[in-house]
Structure 1
Amino acid sequence: MDLDLWWLLLFPAFFGLGWFAARVDMRAVLKQAMAVPSGFFKGLDALVDDKTDVAAGALAEVARQHPDALELQLTLGKLYRKRGENDRAIRLHHTMLDSTELAAESRDSVRFELAQDFRKAGLIDRAEETLVKLVDGNMSLAARKELLDIYQQDRDWQKAIELARGLASDSHSFLHEVAQFYCELAQAELFRSNYAAAREFVKAAFNANRKCVRASLIAGDIAFAEGDSEAAIAAWQAIEKQGYEYLSMAGERLFDAYEKLGRPLDGIALLRGYLKTFPQLELTDLLYQKVATYEGEEKALEAVREAVHGRPSLAGVYRLIEAQMDELSPDKRMDAELARTVVMKNAARLTMHRCKCCNFRSRAFFWHCPVCGEWESLTPNRSEIH
């Protein structure tokens, strides 16, 4: 009975202590909230409304009142940079670095922001110089990634390769990017007709990524330039296993190689087979032209009709109309010409390459997306954008 009585007395005591602790916590929270300057909330409200000029002014005033608020100062610098006020961002970060009160562990964060200011302002050399000093500090990973972006922007592929290999980890090997960097070097040597050097860079690209489609394209280009059409065909046909959607980029190359060997009909048969197996490939126009040249207009019309019925597209319909123009009477030809013109305009406007990472759209194909910076992310076959 004594034990039960003690338990009954303890329950109200625990309840009272909990109520008292909650009151203390709420008072502390309210006190902290009242201590936050009103300009801070004004700045946040302006940011929500996308009024960056008002937000910058309000946060700048708060930052002057609280010069020791590191996160606030860094946020203000980012806001200046976003608004294109790079000179203000640079001055702000220089002022922070000149302060003797800035903690040593925070200096690298400020220097990293300063490097981004320099880069945004077009002062790439100063940005690189600042980032190089951070590669061994507590901002090492971020600095290395920023440097990698700079080296790609400057097309300094050797430095990019070295840095990317140093960034490799279990989560991201960077071998995909390294292969592309070697392909850039190979492409440059190919343009100079330095085939031996180009071949070595292609080999290095394959060592980094055996499925590198671009390396196969360049390997075939090297062999074809040296007069070895058989080797070129073998290199380009390897793309079917690496990434069949890129066969549309190798289609004309393959036909040219077969034509050079005196076997154009084999080239046409290969294009027919690809288009039948992979109807999404942009090979209809090429197939029509080659069949018309070697087998006649009637066979070409059959080929394009089969391709368009297999996978309807504006570009295919345009070619289908054009293939039948000569068979129409003058009146019907005028109607067909009008339809062909409308289809052509819409095909040019609506068919685009699309980045699978950021959805960037372009009429031109890029190996390196100019928006998100991903490699081999643009679709090699244009799609109709709705």
Structure 2
Amino acid sequence: MELDLTWILLGLPAAFALGWIASRMDLRQMRMANRQAPRAYFKGLNYLLNEQQDQAIDAFIEAVQNDPDTSELHFALGNLFRRRGEYDRAVRVHEHLLSRADISTADRQRAQHGLALDFLKAGLLDRAEEALRKLEGTAYEGQARLARMAIYERSREWPEAFAMAQLLETSGEANFGIRMAHYRCEQAREAVQQGDMDKAMDLLTQTLRKQPEAPRPRILLGQLQMNQGQAQTAYATLVGLFERNDTAAPLAAASFVKAAQACGMLEAARDVLQTHYLKQPCIDVLDAITALDHALQADPASLHSAASERYLNHLQKQPSLMAATRWLMGDREGSADLPAPVQKALEHATKPLARYRCAACGFEAKEHFWHCPGCQAWDSYPPRRVEEL
């Protein structure tokens, strides 16, 4: 059969025309998709700026469907899910990004960081820690270590938290000396609860040697030494707080008085407290001076007179309902003439004023906390009562 050249000559232009039409249709569809993706993206951005998160999520989902290869849209969608508390959906978005082979190393690290935050916000601490470990050696290493340290604090894994703080300090993130002292103090408290006094003593002694300016290990060490019958050593440990006018010294005032009474250093202790009080007037230190006066003097009338005068002088410096109550008690020789309802009313009125308040979240408590149970902040409790703030 002979090949008809006429059909070949007619078919070539037809094939070219069909190919050209098909390419134009593909370009048109591509332009339409590209126009739809930015339109959906900007619509989502507008919703986000107006704090309409539900509509923003719908718009970003539409944009992702139109352009599934755009990683930025996935990141935006994952962050939105996490902010809304839809952690399972945020995890799926970031895991999808990590499963892709076409994203850059920077985007992969970013997705890993987002996944760790998803687990952290969801309270899945084990999975969050595992995800954060994979960020070692990346641009997110410092943030990951800080997050891991927070995880160890929440789970009370103090040795791990200490090790992480050391890594952060070594890398130049910040000075974590005081924080590490807190971790050692927490370990010492656990050792005391377990009855291992030697371990607690070693931990506090080493911590005080490395961080002599940290007040907490000094206070805990002095209290532990008192409980172990080492009154003279406890006195020497605690006196440093008052001699250098540490702001946390009032927290150790009661323990310091007990140590002074046990080792016969009443007059020396009173002089130390008086000097400190003149520089930093405080109701706790004033109560400690009054307690030492009771131990030094035997005449009840003189004691009550001196106490009344002391609290009256304090009132002239600082208005204080607590000091006024103590003045009334001292002025009436043990409140013998003060009616019971008045005593009860005064005690009821001063109780809230004797609390400690977190400066970060406002959580109040009867005792002083170094680690706020409300907001988990460290050193957020001023060492003074609410009334004195």
TM-score normalized with structure 1 length: 0.76
* Superposed displacement of residue 129, structure 1: 1.4
Change (3 A) 1:54 1:385: farther
**Do residues 42 (structure 1) and 46 (structure 2) align?**
yes
Q: Which of 194, 202, 212 is 1:200 aligned to? A: 202
Contact between 1:289 and 1:300, CA under 8 Å: does it hold in 2? no
**1:255-334 paired onto structure 2 within 5 Å:** 255-262=257-264, 264=266, 267-280=269-282, 282-288=284-290, 291=293, 295=297, 296=300, 297-324=304-331, 333=339
Q: Which of 347, 355, 358 is 1:354 aligned to? A: 358
**1:140-159 paired onto structure 2 within 5 Å:** 140-159=141-160
Q: 2 CA distance for matches of 1:223 and 1:137?
A: 46
Matched with 2:350 is 344
**1:1-386 paired onto structure 2 within 5 Å:** 37-47=41-51, 51-168=52-169, 169-170=171-172, 172-240=174-242, 244-262=246-264, 264=266, 267-280=269-282, 282-288=284-290, 291=293, 295=297, 296=300, 297-324=304-331, 333=339, 340=346, 343-344=349-350, 347=353, 352-355=356-359, 358=360, 360-363=362-365, 364-370=367-373, 373-384=376-387
Change (3 A) 1:194 1:341: closer
Three-state SS of the structure 2 residue aligned to 1:245 is coil
Identity of aligned residues (%): 25
The CA RMSD over aligned residues, in Å, is: 3.5
Change (3 A) 1:307 1:55: farther
Matched with 2:19 is none
Letter in structure 1 aligned against 2:165: A
* Superposed displacement of residue 381, structure 1: 0.9
Contact between 1:183 and 1:202, CA under 8 Å: does it hold in 2? yes
- Where does structure 2 lack aligned partners over 5 or more consecutive residues? 1-34
Change (3 A) 1:208 1:150: farther
Alignment deviations for residues 2-48 of structure 1 (CA, whole Å, 9 cap, x no partner)? xxxxxxxxxxxxxxxxxxxxxxxxxxxxx99975634223322332x
Change (3 A) 1:328 1:369: closer
Number of residue equivalences: 348
- Where does structure 1 lack aligned partners over 5 or more consecutive residues? 1-30
Q: 2 CA distance for matches of 1:385 and 1:36?
A: 57
Q: 2 CA distance for matches of 1:34 and 1:74?
A: 16
Three-state SS of the structure 2 residue aligned to 1:101 is coil
* Superposed displacement of residue 224, structure 1: 1.4
Change (3 A) 1:155 1:175: same
Change (3 A) 1:327 1:257: closer
Alignment deviations for residues 69-108 of structure 1 (CA, whole Å, 9 cap, x no partner)? 4344333323322332222222222222233433333122
Alignment deviations for residues 232-274 of structure 1 (CA, whole Å, 9 cap, x no partner)? 0111111235662211110000111122235556555544443
Q: 1 CA distance for matches of 2:55 and 2:293?
A: 65
Q: Kindly name which structure, 1 or 2, has the bigger radius of gyration based on alpha carbons.
A: 2
